[in-house]
Amino acid sequence: MDNDNKIGILTLHSGYNEGAILQAFCLAFNLQNNVTGKVEIVDHRYPSKERAYGPVRDDKTKTLNDFVNYALPLSKKRFLSDDCKATFEFIKENYNVVVTGSDELWKLKYTKRCFGIISEQNDLWCPAFPNVYWPDETIEIPKIAYAASIGGSDWRAIPKKHIVRMKRILSDYSLLGIRDQRTMSFLEWLEPNIADKAEWVPDPTFAADILSLVDKRALKQKLQQYGVDFSRPRICVVLRDTPDTNKVINNIKQHGYQIVGITLSNKAADVALFDKGFTPLEWFGVFGLMDFCILQRMHACISCILQGTPFIAVDFYSNPMDDDSKLKDLMQSFGLLDYYYKADNSSVGEFQLICERLFNEPWPVNEITEKRLLFNNRSKEFTDKIKGILSD
């Protein structure tokens, strides 16, 4: 592939979700630094999601909005539409390859009505299929999926006409990289031949050395200005309010810990950073400046894994089919299920025991380091496969 060629990325890149923006940045960063050519994120946005996120309203949303618009390599043309025909035409005219991924961009929500005969898609957060993240066969350039995920979708509700179209679309991919076992199960259900050509690739945050882009000294000063006390042991929480978990966290305070809350409002926090302005890169770096973390967001967990910070993953994610989730898949991959708490079907006593384990038992540093190396090498292998496709 020569320098005149261009790679277009279709991914979840806009809104006020630090992890989603971060994965988009890392995917573009990885490809730009390892594949010859120009990389752009095709700036397609869905009106329903834009309305769901709402307008810029505080320092947090302004900082994230500015990062999306000025730090991501967005296409010059923006599409704000439920229809993807114009976007597909733009892709065909401007790129030599299109990459879909990563994150839960294949997540779909169907609801049944009329005695279960008719399926509808009305969820604001999940654009109805077919959508821009399923580029069809009219796009004749190579199509590559990078760490794509089906999320918590119930694929039993997908109507037959959509199943047929999904098979046709995915069969046309040159390279099919998926992020988790649940997505592999979906592909096996959809079409075994498609599943046979799919391969696992980690989230792109494992592929890019983004920590080198974080000024930790400046970040520490910023946190101190907001009230974080680095003379005390610190626990960062990205956790929704629940009476059970907050009771345990409030008990932890009695042992001298300062509770730092970020991203999600939580009444147990001593220092509330929920509306403060952190870029996704700064947000990623925050968890490396803590002694422990209690987290429900996957990319916050990945940050702890990459920076060696002991943490608990609290899982509120669920689906109507099985017990799998993206957090469980991540924790299982790193041998960290002892630090995994399923919030909807576990007792608060179990959460208390996991917290005690976190504070009192040695963190498995060597095992995590070995697995991180495996994830990084796998990312490189997959990127090399992309380079091979582009050189043909």
Residue 84 CA to residue 53 CA, distance in Å, equals 21
Token representation of residue 22: 């971060």
Q: Which two tokens stand for residue 338?
A: 């002892």
Cα angle 179-23-184, degrees, rounded to a multiple of 5: 10
Q: Which residues contact 78 (CB under 8 A, 6 or more apart)?
A: 43, 44, 45
Query: Apex CA 206: angle with CA 135 and CA 18, to 5°?
Result: 70
Sign of the torsion angle spanned by Cα atoms 331, 337, 338, 341: positive
| Partners of 236 in the β-ladder | 260, 293
**CB-count exposure of residue 228 (10 Å: 0-12, 13-18, 19+):** buried
pTM of the model: 0.95
Nearest residue to 220 via CA among 285, 167, 273 = 285
Residue 268 and residue 261 in contact, taking contact as beta carbons nearer than 8 Å: yes
CA 15 and chain centroid, separation = 13
Concatenating the DSSP letter of every residue in 304-317 gives HHHHT--EEEEE--
Q: Report, as an integer, the average pLDDT of 232-251.
A: 95
Amino acid at residue number 13: H
Reported as a pLDDT band with limits 50, 70 and 90, residue 149 is very high
> What confidence category does residue 1 fall into, taking pLDDT thresholds of 50, 70 and 90?
very low
pLDDT (tens digit, 9 = 90+) per residue, 274-293? 999 999 999 999 999 999 99
- List, in order, residues 6 or more apart from 211 with CB less than 8 Å away: 284, 285, 288, 306, 307
Distance CA 344, CA 45 (A): 32
State the pLDDT at residue 145. Answer: 98
For the stretch 18-57, pLDDT in tens is 999 999 999 999 999 999 889 999 999 999 999 999 999 9
Residue 117: per-residue pLDDT: 61
Handedness of CA 234, 240, 241, 242 (dihedral sign): negative
Average pLDDT, the chain: 94
- Give the type of residue at 307: Q
